[in-house]
Amino acid sequence: MNLDLGMGSNWSSSLLKKIIHRDVKSSNILLTERFKAKVANFRCARLGDVETTDVVTKVQGTLGYLDPEYMRTHQLTPKIDVHSFGVLIIEILTGRRPIESKRSPKEVVTIRWVSFLFFSSFVHMHH
């Protein structure tokens, strides 16, 4: 799968800083007619130095996709998007939204539910 940044021509392709999207989610991934994925909606995006983690910002993004460490520390790092992309993959694999409020309390947050299923099956396999 190819992943493009649909940013238009105003952005330089030779940026020395990393773009941290801060709102990677299913509705911000667009598909072309050839099923090439493009990241869209850069309203929350910030430029960040890949090696610096001392930038503190206002937390922005969509609940359910937000990195818990980012929510706790407000530190701008590339890990924010890695976590959100992981949630997106879980969403694709399970067919569930990141937060499903009508489910039982243990199943509301999909990533916790998947973690519980994974670790409980892991424990059963090793006993």
What one-character-per-residue DSSP string does 98-109 give?
SB-TTS-GGGSB
Q: Which residues are catalytic?
A: 23
Q: What is the mean pLDDT of residues 48-66?
A: 80
At residue 35, the pLDDT reads 92
Which pLDDT belongs to residue 16? 56
pTM above 0.85? no
Which of 22-26, 104-108, 111-115, 121-125 is least confident?
A: 121-125
CA 83 to chain centre: 5
Strands of the sheet with 37-39, listed across from one edge: 3-5, 37-39, 29-31
Look at residue 103 and tell me whether its pLDDT is greater than 60.
Answer: yes
Domain 3-95 has CATH 1.10.510.10: yes
Decide if 65 contacts 98 (C-beta within 8 A).
yes
Q: Length of the chain, please?
A: 127
Q: Structural domain boundaries of the chain? A: 3-95
Instruction: Say which residues have a Cβ less than 8 Å from residue 35's Cβ, sequence separation at least 6.
Output: none
Structure-model confidence comparison of residues 12 and 76, the more confident one: 76
Res. 6: pLDDT tops 60: no
Cβ atoms of 84 and 65 within 8 Å: the answer is: yes
